[in-house]
Amino acid sequence: MTDNGSAIQLSAHSVEQTMAIAGIVAKAARPGDLIGLVGELGAGKTQFVRGLAVGLGISSRQVSSPTFVFLQEYPVDEADPDALVLTHIDAYRLNGPGDLATIGWEGEGQELRRGAVLAVEWADRIEHALGLDWLKITLEHTDTGRAITLSPRGVWRDKMPLLGRDIDNLVLPKEA
């Protein structure tokens, strides 16, 4: 792990490692938090969302890329009153405020954030609408897997010391 000011830079050498890092991020998430994922096609954005789901107590099998439906919600076990819903948006095909409105986005997505963790793939396409409080996750291909950078905005800055500690203590799964 590299801590670059407030950003944290990591390397993942397998899907399992990417999901384990995402699980740590999920444990830091609270109702109303937004996690924006940025990276080229195939960089691991949907895999990261699968790891968020697992970290929130949702089966990873429920998660698929919502490219053609724009938005999916993954409910958690109803037996756990503290469990959060994961709302998953794919902004790749969104072309502006009108498209955002069709999925229920108002302001900075407050309605979609209520009682949920909101994960937005291709967040850079709608960054103007995300507001000040979100965690930017940048995923990039490398020769040995992927580079993952966690860049906090707003309230996420306060979570970074704890998040960094938990990541430092994470025992990553062995490479596949």
Give a three-class secondary structure readout of the chain. CEEECCEEEEEECCHHHHHHHHHHHHHHCCCCCEEEEECCCCCCHHHHHHHHHHHCCCCHHHCCCCCCCCEEEECCCCCCCCCCEEEEEECCCCCCHHHHHHCCCCCCCHHHHCCEEEEEECHHHCHHHCCCCCEEEEEEEECCEEEEEEEECCCHHHHHHHHHHHHHCCCCCCCC
Starting at the edge strand found earlier in the chain, the sheet holding 85-90 runs 2-4, 7-12, 145-152, 135-142, 34-38, 116-121, 85-90, 71-74
CATH number at 2-168: 3.40.50.300
Q: Kindly report the pTM of this predicted structure.
A: 0.86
How confident is the prediction along the chain (176 residues), in pLDDT tens digits per residue? Answer: 555 558 999 999 999 999 999 999 999 999 889 999 999 998 999 999 999 999 988 877 777 765 666 777 777 666 666 678 888 988 888 776 677 777 777 766 766 767 789 999 999 988 888 889 999 999 999 998 999 999 999 999 999 998 888 888 876 666 55
Domain ranges of the chain: 2-168
